Structure 1
Amino acid sequence: MSNHKSWKKIGALAVSSFLAVGMLAACGSSGSSASNSDKITIFNSKMEIQDQMEKMAKEYSKEKGVDVKVYYSSDTVAAHLATKYASGEPYTISMVDAKDVYSLAKEHAVDLSDQSWVKQTDQAISIDGKTYGFPVSIEARGLIYNASAIEKITGKTFDPTEYQTLDSFKTLIKELKAGGMKTPTGVMKEDWSLAGHYLPQVYEEQSDPAAFIEKLHAGDENLNSNAKFTSLMNTFDVLKDNNYAASSAISAEREVTEQKLAEGEIAFMFGGNWDWSVINQYDYSKDMGIMPVPQNTNDESNTKLVGGGSKYFFIDSSKDTSDTQRKEAKAFLNWLVDDKEGQSFIVDDCSLVSPFTNNTLAVSDPLGKSVKQYADEGKLIPNYNYLPDDHYSVLGAEFQKYLAGQENRADLATAIESYWKSAKVSSSAE
């Protein structure tokens, strides 16, 4: 049911302490659910839609006659939920990341396999044949482009499918530079962008990501001779060498880079549809989008974005949540999928890309439109959801050295190999 379903569960259970605390929840439980048996509580972990969630909850409560409250916390998801379970006051519905579903579902979530919406998406998370994770939205990454800026120089309509290979992309870069755009690209220096988004594509674009990670962990993979690492780093080098901030790459501010892209001073930046929340703060070009990372490859990865469900709801299965609450929680999820107001809430109010095929509302922003198009065409390479928690911080620092010219590619490959040899990972087949 999910693109993630067939993957082996590689990656440390980042919230093992959560489970330990959760098992103790019954001790000293106040039984507080008894006085709130009709109240539906929702934990929202996506800060940028908290206002919309609160407004929706008020309107939904009034219309359905169900008391719905939405809460947000800036703490890590696992730590925050652990405190709620320990106090015997779990949320009825919790919004978490994919890895949290894999870690928590068997212990804390309701099986939703019998729900009608399961057939409307290929992004739901299933474990051992049971569906636990309800996908809230789709996010995907690739090369964000400013078509207006490109067309101003080339004089012809920009078609991203004409630039799927690195060779064709290089030709376009040369054309842009010759036309007056001295530095056509921008590279975000943030560790989460470099090692949380770009580097993982090296894993995600392998024929078997889980097996590849196993080889890295065992020290049996020579990364610098791996075809996919070489391909993606060749593309990264073109982005790096044509970066407007090349001389001070690790000092470049994200907002400056996104403003330059929005206003057409540069034409390309690696990122995802979440970047629209920054881009739309500036005098942006209307004709923008996301395209696959150009690569000289024949495995069709250069025709797809990388992405999938970005946040997931699960319904609490504990004794502290009543059957009535669970029934209303299921009704709420169905409302998001099937009701016109629920569909509009996701797409129009929250500016998210719905993962459900029956939601045909037009996505408002251009990056979201690109993601929706690739998703509808089945052209998404699944996210790898089992990265250790310190992956982007540790390897982000190494990638920043490469970006700054402080180490070469072989050094970066060695650093990545060393990281995985000692990374806290575990393997369990589904």
Structure 2
Amino acid sequence: MKKTFASLLIASLAFGLAACGGSKTAESPDASSAAPSSSASSSASASPDQEKVKIIITNGKGEIASQWTQAAKDFMAANPNIEVVAQSQAVGDTLSILDKLTASGEVVTVAMLEPSAVLNKYKDFGIDLSGEKWNEETKDGFKNEQGQVVGFPFAIEGFGLVYNKKVVEKAVGGTFDPFSINTRDKLKELLDKIKASGVKYPVAYQTEAWSVSNHYSTQFLNQVADGSTIVSQLKEGKFDLAGNAAWNGYYDTMDLLASKDYNKYGERPLGQYYDDAHLSVGKGESAMLFNGNWAFDSLKAVAGDSFGFIPVPNDNNPDNPLNNKIVAGPTQILAINKNATPAQQEAGKKFLNWLVYDKAGQDFLVNKSQIISAFKNNPNKVTNPLGAAIADAIAQGKTMPFSTNYVVADDWFKIIGPDVQKYIVKKESRADLAKAIQTYCTSKK
């Protein structure tokens, strides 16, 4: 989820992923029917007995609107019997383009949605894609509660402790392996080394509600293979948050990151620190912050330094899988509308296959859009160093699911986020925080 600070605050992770969040919506100015160029059209011709079909495809990532339109043109060049109307939302618009088109009587064939929306608002939208061949190339096909793959993983994103490689390597005196920080004590030792190297505050810990709640505070769900089982237990009042070691472990680590000893904003933890935190880490005035691959948009504006991800340690057991992986997974998926005609659905499936198997589709996804591909057969690599770090972690099997996808991210931002912030400034105890989360979850039963 490539984001800017402004779009994050406006959208406030109606996601999320943000993805992290991000709001949906609004048509792109050029969101008209994309037509192949004359040169491209001449390279393919339709069989006279093939019936032409028209489909609408919607893009929820406004920052790739032009690429989305061009992808539609390239796809039509290869599939002249399919007419594609490519629609994109404007960054920051809060009205869903899918809702807007549906309300006007249009049938969207392929819609880009956030995972939590597929499990909630649009749970009856998509068709079963479990039998599609592209599932052989990814482990991230998005499943509904019945275990059916209903979502094509369009965008992979991740989060953890973003660090400035130059600053950290200076502190440790050479090459640094981020996955060597697999306990809380090792993280503290690293922070102390960074301080000793001349960096007064190693951490620039921004505390916006979406960051400390949607993202950071959902990580404990990955203590089991399927975090949705814990969410279900919470709704039933059958999960003891306050007594859970993993849940407590992440807040023990948060206490370290937000402390006056290491955090630039430790004296006054709550504030609008997003821009300043990225400037600090980008310039090397601080070494790390908690965020996702979308943070590179802010970091790259101030430095040419390299950046990577350190896992957020949960405890002091180096063998704990939570300590050895970063969070990564699909934050935007493509679903095919069950209300589209069979011909439109087949055309939509062809578009998904084109993204996976056609060189032009692969190029659009990674090279043109700088999106981390969920598909192992895509040979392209993103040049964004944080995206590249996530792609490498995926290849090494050092990732765990994007935990925000298990929850209603907007609720965690708006309802639970303020309680996490109160905890950070010690106006709420950890027991109070556990109670607040449990009360919310029970209300959603």
TM-score by length of 1: 0.82
Instruction: Please give the per-residue CA displacement for 1:327-360, whole angstroms capped at 9, x wherever unaligned.
Output: 3222211111011121111111111110001012
Compute the displacement of 1:259 (Å): 1.8
- CA separation of 1:210/1:313 partners in 2, compared to 1, >3 Å: closer, same or farther? closer
2:282 is matched with: 262
The answer for unaligned runs of 5 or more in structure 2 is 1-50
Counterpart pick for 1:368 among 379, 387, 396? 387
Counterpart pick for 2:108 among 61, 81, 91? 91
Q: Is the counterpart of residue 70 in structure 1 residue 89 in structure 2?
A: no
Q: Is the counterpart of residue 273 in structure 1 residue 290 in structure 2?
A: no
Any conservation in 2 of the 1:121–1:357 contact (CA below 8 Å)?
Answer: yes
CA distance in 1, matches of 2:288, 2:369: 26
Q: Is the counterpart of residue 293 in structure 1 residue 312 in structure 2?
A: yes
| Aligned residue pairs, count | 385
- CA separation of 1:62/1:222 partners in 2, compared to 1, >3 Å: closer, same or farther? closer
CA distance in 1, matches of 2:343, 2:241: 53
1:240-251 pair list within 5 angstroms: 240-241=258-259, 242-251=262-271
Question: Partner of 2:279: helix, strand, or coil?
Answer: helix
- CA separation of 1:157/1:220 partners in 2, compared to 1, >3 Å: closer, same or farther? same
Compute the displacement of 1:189 (Å): 1.7
Question: Partner of 2:389: helix, strand, or coil?
Answer: helix
Q: Is the counterpart of residue 338 in structure 1 residue 357 in structure 2?
A: yes
1:337-416 pair list within 5 angstroms: 337-384=356-403, 385-388=405-408, 389-416=410-437
1:3-402 pair list within 5 angstroms: 38-62=53-77, 64-65=79-80, 66-73=82-89, 80-103=97-120, 107-127=124-144, 128=146, 130-206=148-224, 209-241=227-259, 242-286=262-306, 288-295=307-314, 296-297=316-317, 298-318=319-339, 321-384=340-403, 385-388=405-408, 389-402=410-423
Compute the displacement of 1:91 (Å): 1.1
CA distance in 2, matches of 1:61, 1:156: 51
Instruction: Please give the per-residue CA displacement for 1:50-109, whole angstroms capped at 9, x wherever unaligned.
Output: 2321233234434543432322335667x6534533443121210001123334777432
CA distance in 2, matches of 1:265, 1:205: 34
Instruction: Please give the per-residue CA displacement for 1:239-284, whole angstroms capped at 9, x wherever unaligned.
Output: 1012111223221421211121122111111111122222222224
CA distance in 2, matches of 1:419, 1:391: 9
CA distance in 2, matches of 1:117, 1:218: 36
State which drifts further: 254-263 or 65-74: 65-74
Using CA pairs under 8 Å that are at least 6 residues apart, name the structure with larger relative contact order, 1 or 2: 1
The Cα RMSD (Å) is 2.4
* Structure 2 letter corresponding to 1:265: E
Compute the displacement of 1:183 (Å): 0.4
CA distance in 1, matches of 2:248, 2:102: 46
CA distance in 2, matches of 1:155, 1:386: 40
Compute the displacement of 1:379 (Å): 2.7
State which drifts further: 193-202 or 408-417: 408-417
- CA separation of 1:379/1:251 partners in 2, compared to 1, >3 Å: closer, same or farther? same
1:31 is matched with: none
Instruction: Please give the per-residue CA displacement for 1:179-206, whole angstroms capped at 9, x wherever unaligned.
Output: 2111001222211111110000122324
- CA separation of 1:40/1:292 partners in 2, compared to 1, >3 Å: closer, same or farther? same
* Structure 1 letter corresponding to 2:365: I
CA distance in 1, matches of 2:287, 2:279: 11
Question: Partner of 2:393: helix, strand, or coil?
Answer: helix
Any conservation in 2 of the 1:117–1:337 contact (CA below 8 Å)?
Answer: yes
- CA separation of 1:130/1:202 partners in 2, compared to 1, >3 Å: closer, same or farther? closer
CA distance in 2, matches of 1:214, 1:108: 22
- CA separation of 1:124/1:395 partners in 2, compared to 1, >3 Å: closer, same or farther? same
Identity across the alignment (%): 34
Any conservation in 2 of the 1:205–1:381 contact (CA below 8 Å)?
Answer: no
- CA separation of 1:195/1:40 partners in 2, compared to 1, >3 Å: closer, same or farther? same
Compute the displacement of 1:211 (Å): 4.1
Any conservation in 1 of the 2:207–2:421 contact (CA below 8 Å)?
Answer: yes
- CA separation of 1:72/1:205 partners in 2, compared to 1, >3 Å: closer, same or farther? same
- Structure with greater helix percent: 1
CA distance in 2, matches of 1:107, 1:154: 52
Instruction: Please give the per-residue CA displacement for 1:184-240, whole angstroms capped at 9, x wherever unaligned.
Output: 012222111111100001223246634433443344444233201221111111110
Any conservation in 1 of the 2:312–2:326 contact (CA below 8 Å)?
Answer: yes
* Structure 1 letter corresponding to 2:249: S
Any conservation in 1 of the 2:183–2:323 contact (CA below 8 Å)?
Answer: yes
- CA separation of 1:120/1:207 partners in 2, compared to 1, >3 Å: closer, same or farther? closer
Question: Partner of 2:127: helix, strand, or coil?
Answer: coil
CA distance in 1, matches of 2:230, 2:150: 27
Q: Is the counterpart of residue 421 in structure 1 residue 442 in structure 2?
A: yes
- CA separation of 1:216/1:116 partners in 2, compared to 1, >3 Å: closer, same or farther? closer
Any conservation in 1 of the 2:155–2:373 contact (CA below 8 Å)?
Answer: yes
Any conservation in 1 of the 2:166–2:305 contact (CA below 8 Å)?
Answer: yes
The answer for unaligned runs of 5 or more in structure 1 is 1-35, 426-430
TM-score by length of 2: 0.80
Any conservation in 2 of the 1:37–1:322 contact (CA below 8 Å)?
Answer: no
CA distance in 2, matches of 1:67, 1:391: 40
CA distance in 2, matches of 1:207, 1:41: 36
Compute the displacement of 1:370 (Å): 1.5
